Structure 1
Amino acid sequence: MGYRNMQECLADLEAHGHLKRIDAEVDPNLELAAIQRRAFRAKAPALLFTRVKGTSFPMLCNLFGTRERLHYIFRDSLPAVQAVLDAKADPVAALKKPWRALPAVPGLWHMLPKVRRGNGGEGGNVPVLECRCKPADLPQLTCWPMDGGAFITLPLVYTEDPAKPGADSSNLGMYRVQQSGNEYTPDEMGLHYQIHRGIGVHHAHAIAAGRPLPVHVYVGGPPSLTVAAVMPLPEGLSELRFAGLLGGRRMELARAEGLPLPALAEADFCISGHIMPSPKPEGPFGDHVGYYSLTHDFPVLKVDAVYHRKGAVWPFTAVGRPPQEDTVFGDFIHELTGPLVPQVFQGVREVHAVDAAGVHPLLLALGSERYTPYEAARRPRELLTMALHLLGTTQTALAKYVLVAAHEDAPGLSASHAPQFLRHLLERTDFARDLHFITHSTNDTLDYTGLGLNEGSKLIWAAAGEKRRELGLELTGSAADLPPLPEGFGDARVAGPGLLVLRGPKHTLGRNEPDPAMETLADALAHWPGREAFPLVVVADDAAFCAQDMDNFLWVAFTRSDPATDVYGARAQTRAKHWSCEVPLVMDARLKPFHAPPLEEDPATTRAVDALAAPGGPLHGYL
């Protein structure tokens, strides 16, 4: 049986060595976030801080910091989860061999939320409503030096569809909540929800009806709620139902007088309010792509009341350049939802949103190419249909670069291994045929490389067929004979098979302006004798850093470029609206003046955490 609440989970983790209490006083301003990032890298246990400056509530970090701990927390329910998802992925197989679906039976019962009413008064027998406090009494966590204020980093934002109220049409999402700073009054919070999020539909229906949208922001509660809030769930499976399935226990909702929405009874905190008519500036905030998301207008939550249970614990995380704790979430999601991919996307065998590249900037997909099996040479046909489907539904629609390969070309290839996948693609790409741009499209809210907020371009890069070229591993022979490069370009480095990185001059142009210097570089590389060995050239501000390892290469190349503006190529041309080139393809991955700045630690905070982790310090042995 799963945990009823966070307190049961923490008691179990502590009893089995997965949690440590830290009684030394810590600062929620930068210090705790820096501790969390180090704790994750060190694969430390979950850390419960009992003395936090400015608040009476203990704060918890690194709860989901390792895959092993996630599996421990959900050890009793994972067989049922897998059985339910497998049955959904292949219902015919479940009918033919029903005994394999038996573990799903208890899970189906746990997927039904339990609704109850509080007894007498506001809180009654509902733990989350037992106590009240002010918004200022809550922990005020700031993670990065340029953050615009304190943020809730693990919020569970609950709304219901005004056009169809009830838990079955509810949305539980993780949308960051700004508690202080900017123009917010003490009873206001910023509610930043990104493009293509479920809450947007509810908000639109409320606006159309001319009334405010009620919102509950929960913090804490059964750990399955947090995972459910970030899961890309199949159509018809609500977050509350999945939380019950994953948690091995029905989620408890309570109706209470004076609350516009049901309360998640076993949560630790409930911030009850409604969205105001006019937005206000929200941000900046150091985000999971590795840069700040800047200040923009977003909805404002007017806080009507703040509730909490007795002994409430405030869980938090810190995001930044991957890998971070949310990387473990991503891996766990891939593990659970992998069997559903062929059902959701016809012809797709596997997808992988590359964490090292910031997730949405780079999506790798492996599929079947079956449209014309009678042709002598395989070429991308079904792969293009598949890529368009990926860009047409679910969170994969936010992908910027979609790289697609055919399973038939290499049955052992996996989309989860980015270096091998890139090598396979580069060996086979016909650069006159295989690149397909989509311009003026929707982009991830956190991506600043395109035309503006939520707007940019996409590139479908689909390759199939026999190998066309041998990739170079080092600059030797004809590959070393680089032509004279334009002024400011140099320091050639090999980042991997077929991957060359060059240092480029500082970028000074405006948004959506192609760089003539890059076009000159591409023209020069057209005369390079060794260009077939290095079909992809990336220009960066720091070639040594970009080429140092594959994670650096993926992060720089795909988070700092917009396909339509920043992709060039040798002897590039546009014919019948199709852009093509010869090798090499050249990507401009320099930081641009309009990009958000990358995240950097505060030196004073780093020294303070060093002291906490030093021998004799309260965190020695954990960081």
Structure 2
Amino acid sequence: MQQLLADLERTGQLIRVTQEVDPYLEVAEIQRRAYRAKAPAILFTRVKGTTFPMVCNVFGTMERTRWIFRDSLRALEGVFALKVNPFDFFKQPWRYAGVPRAVYSTMPKKVRTGPVMEAETTVSKLPQLYSWPMDGGGYVTLPQVYTESPDKPGFMSSNIGMYRVQLTGPSFETDKEVGLHYQIHRGIGYHHAEALRRGQPLKVNVFVGGPPAMTLAAIMPLPEGIAEILFAGALAGFRIPMIHRPGELPMLAEADFCICGTVHPGEQKPEGPFGDHLGYYSLAHDFPLMRVDAVYHRKDAVWPFTTVGRPPQEDTVFGAFIHELTADLVPTVFNGVREVHAVDQAGVHPLLLAIGSERYVPYAAERQPQELITCGLSLLGTTQTSLSKYVLIAAHEDAPDLHTHDFPRFFRHMLERTDLTRDLHYITRTTIDTLDYTGISLNQGSKLIWAACGPRKRPLCESLPTGFSLPQGFSDARLFMPGVAVVQGPRHTAARDEHDNAMFRLAEHLHGIQGRDGEGQQVPLAGLPLVVVADDAAFTAKDWDNFLWVTFTRSDPATDMYGAGAFTHCKHWGCAGPLIIDARLKSFHAPPLEEDPEITRRVDTLAAPGGPLHGIL
């Protein structure tokens, strides 16, 4: 980290702020503004309540992130390329000159000691970052949580994850306990399960800082069985030095901080609330309690941090960088899938757009989803894509130049080809992202595979159809894009895991006006296959960012999708159309994130003429 900051400062990519700043909300708002402004990294040398400097926005742009890994990126790309096509090495061996070193760098280097053990401190003396007003305490937001398999100890069966760590709060005994929040389908869970089966504590080390490759490794969606520390070495371009201590968990030698602790069987405490990356608070729930054994740090330690919230945020860059590295690997992991896009604007896991192949019956008179459904099930069956809630998948054969990042064209392509009586496939009462509060309970909700292929089935309306109307309680209908209307609905009052009768009224009304208006004129709704109901139609229909965020972070497929002329046949649900998505905030949802006005005014002052951040934010 010290080498990186010196490198950034030397090249004009880092500024120092010597005026005292507050880790309670203030530095978080500065960081969010710095990201939006594509500002340099910012090093705060005087932080209230701690002696440790803090640094933010290190990975604030794709250009800076690529630059950080400039010396090793080409070799790592070569490793991935050979995974896709091993025989290319014999055709173009000069392209892979750095691959042997990258492979050599994967194995960590055992050392006896390192800078991280130069000094000790306590949890309460660490920077206590609060990102949002309702946060339940100070948090580590760029942790590298390291564990090893109790059944097979060692680097090869280790896991590094970016699981949030709550340092302080009413649940935790000061300096002795911290909260360890890990979401469903995370590698640490397998290690924890092994420890519980053995009836023994799980040792955990939380690294902060150190080689930036470790930070990226902590969020890399690697297949089960591949240790993140191996990827970190390849990305860093050198073997990661790890302090090996008999009977203890290895420590990252070059880390700025290391919190060593243990998770004992049966010990949990409430963790949260915390403003999270879907744009809402994740509320307080029981999560594993980590007893703190020691807190080590370098003498020159710097505390790196970020904040999360409604996308885009700095973690957007992480996702884009990982996608750039791994895009060519998608077909090797998911047979038949050509492209995937976990949509950042929708909070990543709620919406996955994909393009697959439809080759099962190439001789059929009309192509219909078959292989696409297999592709969708594959995406929901492995790696981090299994947490996706809505999977919309189109056939490559219908439009070879279609891409998932072109939202207007992708959605138009899907809506023109979808058969609403056939192409919606639900999986109910299954696991969903821990942070998603749209489901029927924590970690439980539904998923939808929406597959569409074949010839165009309908032209999409370019304006609201003449005679289009709404029942009482619904208003402000707007055409967001061809074929998609956004309407304002009444406040949601239904309980969790229940349909809303108001939505049935809307579906019945829309089904009823499919025919002729009062003057005997046709009112065709075939060109309007999708209607989204929101609390604020104007906000939702303003742009794609708002539409994707509201529609897919505020709805559960099984509970919140309705349809005009809906039917269930042999447990398959469909509708004549339009399809309706209830994207209102529900009565049981966690609240959206909002900044503190007083903090906003304070940061405005820092960014005003004469302030230390003038011209930066």
Q: TM-score, normalised by structure 2?
A: 0.97
Q: Give, as a single letter, the amino acid of the residue that structure 2 aligns with 1:351.
A: V
Secondary structure of 2:405's match? Answer: coil
Please name the residue that 2:507 is paired with: 522
Q: Which aligned pairs between 1:388-467 and structure 2 lie closer than 5 A? A: 388-467=377-456
Deviation at 1:329, TM superposition (A): 0.4
CA distance in 2, matches of 1:393, 1:90: 22
The answer on whether the counterparts of 2:135 and 2:272 sit within 8 Å (CA) in structure 1 is yes
Please name the residue that 1:496 is paired with: 481
Q: Give, as a single letter, the amino acid of the residue that structure 2 aligns with 1:454.
A: N
Please name the residue that 1:43 is paired with: 38
CA distance in 2, matches of 1:38, 1:65: 11
The answer on whether the counterparts of 1:486 and 1:517 sit within 8 Å (CA) in structure 2 is no
The answer on whether the counterparts of 1:473 and 1:496 sit within 8 Å (CA) in structure 2 is yes
Q: Which aligned pairs between 1:224-373 and structure 2 lie closer than 5 A? A: 224-256=213-245, 260-277=248-265, 278-373=267-362
Secondary structure of 2:318's match? Answer: helix
Please name the residue that 1:78 is paired with: 73
Q: Which aligned pairs between 1:14-53 and structure 2 lie closer than 5 A? A: 14-53=9-48
Q: Which aligned pairs between 1:559-578 and structure 2 lie closer than 5 A? A: 559-578=553-572
Secondary structure of 2:590's match? Answer: coil
Secondary structure of 2:367's match? Answer: coil
Deviations 1:387-416 (A, max 9, x none): 001111111111100001000000000112
Deviation at 1:374, TM superposition (A): 0.4
Q: Give, as a single letter, the amino acid of the residue that structure 2 aligns with 1:622.
A: I
Q: Which aligned pairs between 1:41-190 and structure 2 lie closer than 5 A? A: 41-95=36-90, 97-118=92-113, 126-186=114-174, 187-190=176-179
The answer on whether the counterparts of 1:29 and 1:140 sit within 8 Å (CA) in structure 2 is yes
Q: Give, as a single letter, the amino acid of the residue that structure 1 aligns with 2:567.
A: Q
CA distance in 2, matches of 1:372, 1:61: 53
Q: TM-score, normalised by structure 1?
A: 0.96
Identity of aligned residues (%): 64
The answer on whether the counterparts of 1:354 and 1:418 sit within 8 Å (CA) in structure 2 is no
Deviations 1:245-276 (A, max 9, x none): 1111110011136x611111001000001013
Of 486-495 and 172-181, deviating more is 486-495
What runs of 5+ residues in structure 1 fail to find an aligned partner?
1-5, 119-125
Deviations 1:467-505 (A, max 9, x none): 111122333xxx13213x221101011222211100000
CA distance in 2, matches of 1:356, 1:524: 32
CA distance in 2, matches of 1:570, 1:471: 17
Deviation at 1:95, TM superposition (A): 4.9
Please name the residue that 1:213 is paired with: 202
Deviation at 1:366, TM superposition (A): 0.4
Please name the residue that 1:580 is paired with: 574
CA distance in 1, matches of 2:404, 2:148: 36
Secondary structure of 1:448's match? Answer: coil
Please name the residue that 1:539 is paired with: 533
Q: Give, as a single letter, the amino acid of the residue that structure 2 aligns with 1:536.
A: L
The answer on whether the counterparts of 1:496 and 1:550 sit within 8 Å (CA) in structure 2 is no
Q: Is residue 2:372 matched to residue 1:386?
A: no
CA distance in 1, matches of 2:224, 2:429: 28
Of 519-528 and 599-608, deviating more is 519-528
Deviation at 1:96, TM superposition (A): 5.1
CA distance in 2, matches of 1:95, 1:163: 40
What runs of 5+ residues in structure 2 fail to find an aligned partner?
515-522
Q: Give, as a single letter, the amino acid of the residue that structure 2 aligns with 1:139.
A: P
Secondary structure of 1:457's match? Answer: strand
RMSD: 1.1
Secondary structure of 1:79's match? Answer: helix
Q: Give, as a single letter, the amino acid of the residue that structure 2 aligns with 1:481.
A: G
Q: Give, as a single letter, the amino acid of the residue that structure 2 aligns with 1:274.
A: T
Q: Give, as a single letter, the amino acid of the residue that structure 2 aligns with 1:155.
A: P
CA distance in 1, matches of 2:117, 2:426: 52
Please name the residue that 2:498 is paired with: 513
Secondary structure of 2:591's match? Answer: coil
Query: Pick from 601, 607, 620: which aligns with 2:595?
Result: 601
Deviation at 1:97, TM superposition (A): 4.3
The answer on whether the counterparts of 1:81 and 1:246 sit within 8 Å (CA) in structure 2 is yes
Q: Give, as a single letter, the amino acid of the residue that structure 1 aligns with 2:111.
A: R
When the two structures are aligned, how many residues end up with a matched partner? 606
Secondary structure of 2:116's match? Answer: helix
Deviation at 1:91, TM superposition (A): 2.3
CA distance in 1, matches of 2:74, 2:254: 24
Deviations 1:17-58 (A, max 9, x none): 011111010000000100000000000000000000000000
Deviation at 1:235, TM superposition (A): 4.5
Deviation at 1:113, TM superposition (A): 1.0
CA distance in 2, matches of 1:105, 1:453: 45
Secondary structure of 1:146's match? Answer: coil
Deviation at 1:94, TM superposition (A): 3.5
The answer on whether the counterparts of 1:188 and 1:302 sit within 8 Å (CA) in structure 2 is yes
Please name the residue that 2:519 is paired with: none
Deviation at 1:92, TM superposition (A): 3.7
CA distance in 2, matches of 1:473, 1:50: 55
Deviation at 1:556, TM superposition (A): 0.4
CA distance in 1, matches of 2:226, 2:195: 23
Q: Give, as a single letter, the amino acid of the residue that structure 2 aligns with 1:272.
A: C
Secondary structure of 2:531's match? Answer: strand
Shift >2 Å, 4+ stretches? 89-103, 234-237, 416-419, 472-475
CA distance in 2, matches of 1:159, 1:307: 17
